[in-house]
Amino acid sequence: MKGPVPVILVVALSACARAGVAPAMPNPPPSREPIPVPATRDQEPLPVVKAPPATGFSTPRRFAEVRGLWVVRTTLQTPQEIRAMVASAAEGGFNTLIVQVRGRGDAFYASRWEPRAEQLRAIDPRFDPLALTIAEAHARGLAVHAWVNTNLIWSGDTLPVDPRHVVNAHPDWLAVPRPLAEELFAVDPAEPGFVRTLRQYAADNTDSVEGIYTSPTHPAVRARVQDVWLDLAERYDLDGIHFDYVRYPSLVFDYSRGALDRFRAWVAPRLDSARMARLDAVYRSIPFAFTDSLPTAWDEFRRAQITGMVESIYYAVKARRPDLLVSAAVFPNIEDARSNRFQDWPRWLREGILDVAVPMAYTDDLEAFQGYVRQAVAVTGSRERVWAGVGIFVTDLNGALAQIEAARRGGTAGVVLFSYDWARDNGGTVAGAPFLREVGRLGFGR
């Protein structure tokens, strides 16, 4: 049943918040029945976590104008930082927090699937950053959306410490860039050099890849991401869940042996037997036999993997919590997103497998920002389905205010600023007041 949180639970949440330890989240029932998920295009449906519809949560908070903040995981390391963040957001007139709880294949919450983030290893294990954020924010009337990085699962100079981390436990799930495809084609991913080579490539190519990615073609990768979403949806009183990095890093991904084999199987029914035999003969020695001979199909295949992941997760989440809002941070240039990242987000909106797109229109050029906003609203046909992403780190206060107003004039349902953390650490003060407070005063009439 949906409705207000019982008074006893509210009291318990408040007590835990004052103590600096988030309340334990309820465990799912031990006996669970499967919920069917519609099959995605060109592939079998994913296995889903067996669970009944989630109950006992408050009605998700919705606003006529979303005034959001992306909150990076570095702010979720202590109760003090979380309380300060929520207070600052409320003081500035913000009403929606999108908090990064899966940053690099790890968890800033009590996950059943992912290892606890390394930044929290020295912190009391009872401390649940997401639960505390929800308790503090809901007490002030703010909505909380869990921000889940999808395919980017590691970055940094060293590899994860926890053996359960995907990079360590499942190296066969990892995406391989084309420049390494021939070198790694016959290498067992379990060999230590496999992951080290991927990490070094990311370190040497920071202009084009943010770190180590998982392969969207791998069924186990897609099942894991879906498990993460359902874990959050079933156990936390969230108002929404938010995709990020739900894409390929660039055109040169993914050329892992598994991805190439899966493309071969996917395209085989479309080829006559003679052509298939010729390509198979070449594929024994050249990994690019199918991808280079069938570039249009290869791109179509990669787009289908991302769209299929979004679709499966969307239906699985809605089966449990129909009113939970599903959003995604997306590249603002639609053609770039579709052709170079294989992120066909206008299609997701048209086909009803995404509730809200948040184009990351990070620019100090107001005209370019307005163009991104107009294009996004035009392809959706509905203002309620677009929030404009404002990059305050590339502009100043006046620029941010101008973009907030441009988003309103352009017909979006609100804005999300990237990020709270930048404003706290680099925004400084304007006329003696913190940056976000001035945004609230001048931009939101706070």
CA-CA-CA-CA dihedral for 245, 249, 255, 260, to nearest 10: 40
DSSP element (H, E) containing 343 = none
In a domain, 286, yes or no: yes
Integer Cα distance of 64 and 236 in angstroms: 24
Are 298 and 263 in contact, with CB atoms under 8 Å apart? yes
432 pLDDT band, cuts 50/70/90, is low
Do 239 and 144 touch, CB atoms closer than 8 A?
Answer: yes
pLDDT in tens, 382-408: 888 999 999 999 999 999 999 999 999
Whether 37 is covered by a domain: the verdict is yes
pLDDT tens across 302-333, in order? 999 999 999 999 999 999 999 999 999 999 99
Between 17 and 30, whose confidence is greater? 17
Residue 146 lies in a domain: yes
Rounded average pLDDT over 211-217:
98
Tell me if 209 sits within 8 A of 177, measured CB to CB: yes
Residue 286 scores a pLDDT above 80: yes
Is position 379 within any domain? Answer: no
168 vs 212: CA distance, rounded Å: 12
End-to-end CA distance of the chain: 35
The average pLDDT across 277-290 equals 97
SS3 at position 109: coil
| Separation in Å, CA 342 to CA 120, 150, 219 | 34, 14, 18
Q: What residues contact residue 420 under an 8 Å CB cut-off, 6+ apart?
A: 69, 70, 71, 72, 75, 85, 88, 89, 97, 436
Bridge pairing between strands 66-71 and 96-102: parallel
Look at residue 200 and give its three-state secondary structure: helix
Q: What does the mean pLDDT of the chain come to?
A: 89
Q: Which helix (H) or strand (E) holds 389?
A: strand 388-391
pLDDT band, residue 24 (cuts 50/70/90): very low
CATH number at residue 224: 3.20.20
Parallel, antiparallel or unpaired: strands 96-102 and 143-149: parallel
Cβ-Cβ contacts under 8 Å for 378 (sequence gap 6 or more): none
In the chain, the number of structural domains is 1
Average pLDDT value for residue range 235-241: 98
Whether residue 137 contacts residue 69, with contact meaning beta carbons closer than 8 Å, is answered with: no
Q: How confident is the model at residue 431 (pLDDT cuts 50, 70, 90)?
A: low
Q: 315 lies in which domain range?
A: 7-354
- In terms of residues, how long is the chain? 446
Would 365 be classed as within a structural domain? no
Helices (H), 140-272: 166-169, 178-184, 192-204, 219-235, 257-267
pLDDT digits (tens, 9 = 90+) for 127-163: 999 999 999 999 999 999 999 999 999 998 899 999 9
Give the lowest-confidence range in 30-44, 221-235, 246-260. Answer: 30-44
Using an 8 Å Cβ cutoff, are 38 and 51 in contact? no
Structure confidence by residue, pLDDT tens digits, 153-165: 999 889 999 999 9
Is 347 in a helix, a strand, or coil? helix
> From the centroid of its chain, how far is CA 386?
16
Considering the chain, what percentage of its residues have pLDDT values greater than 90? 83
Burial of 247 (0-12, 13-18, 19+ CB in 10 A): buried
Among left, alpha and beta (phi > 0; psi -120 to 50; other), residue 56 is left
Is residue 410, in this structure, part of any structural domain at all? Answer: no
Residue 404 counted as domain residue: no
The whole-angstrom separation of Cα 174 and Cα 189 is 9
Sequence-distant (6+) residues with CB within 8 A of 238 are: 57, 60, 134, 144, 145, 146, 232, 324
Which residues pair with residue 102 across a beta bridge? 148
CB contact burial 363-373 (16+ within 10 A = b; e otherwise): beeeeebbbbb
Average pLDDT estimate for 172-178: 98
Question: What DSSP element (H or E) covers 241?
Answer: strand 240-244
Whether the bond between 312 and the residue before it is cis, its omega within 30 degrees of 0, is no
Please tell me the distance from the alpha carbon of residue 264 to that of residue 249, in angstroms, as a whole number. 22
DSSP 226: H
Residue 140 has phi, psi (to 5 degrees) of -105, 5
432 by Cβ neighbours in 10 Å (0-12 / 13-18 / 19+) ranks as exposed
